[in-house]
Amino acid sequence: MTRGLFDLTGQVALVTGASRGLGQHFGRALAKAGADLVVTSRNPEALAPFVAEIEALGRRAVPLQLDVREQDSIMQMAAAAESACGQIHILVNNAGCNVRKPALDVTWDDWNLVLETNLRGSFFVAQQLAQSMIAHRYGRIINIGSVTSVFGYAGLAPYGASRGGVRQLTMSLADDWGKHGITVNCLAPGWFRTEQNKVLYDNQEWLDYLIDRIPLKRPGQAHDLDGAIVFLASESSRYITGQTLLVDGGISTGATRATVQPPAARP
């Protein structure tokens, strides 16, 4: 039976960094579209409530341990995922971290933590899972970027470098693996409240400034990403690869449009 354009029934999606936040939301959206899940975290016990939630939707969810900074962990996770579920059709490279500091205060260890997690980890997880995708001549790889994949912000030098790298990585892998039936795209959320940036959202002056710069006049809400993640994972995007899809309320169109003055000192 031919699946509908947005139907993921019979597909298995692997989501890294799925113990909280947008990683869980991506997994939830894919499960509601019909996919079974492999969900990963450095702490697999933290995945238990989410696994129960997905199973209550009638989908399967397999929790696995993964530290994207460790090559052995990536290899063991991939082997366990394929042993448990067979073919992995969809990869959502979501695991990430941030260090928010002025550039002069960034340490060697800060830089390595962010780049090894966000950029190196995304590449080697994709590389490992692509081997099976190539053998099956099918795959959907969705790298999670950010509005910082395209624009620079003070205090985010390592993060912006990593997310900009993810965008470039996406284009390279799309060119490398397209001949094998694999699409590789980057989903780049704008300003969404997460554990990484909640300190900013607690500053009302900063929040007012942000909202004034967004044409749709509000920060993103997690459900605003549902359509994009399902689109990039499904047959509806089968002729789209190497692209960065900004889901940002339009902030990327109007960065100089603000009428509210920026806070005197941003966190």
Catalytic annotation, residues:
159
Can you tell me the distance from the alpha carbon of 227 to that of 10, in angstroms, rounded to the nearest whole number?
Answer: 19
Q: Which two tokens stand for residue 88?
A: 């992995």
Nearest to residue 195, comparing CAs of 46, 44, 1? 46
List phi, psi (to 5°) of 189: -65, 150
264, amino acid identity: A
Q: Which two tokens stand for residue 201?
A: 């959202």
Q: Which residues pair with 92 in a beta bridge?
A: 15, 142
Contact between 48 and 36 (Cβ < 8 Å) = no
Query: Helices 21-32 and 48-56, interaxial angle, to 10°?
Result: 20
User: What number of helices (H) and strands (E) belong to the chain?
Assistant: 9, 7
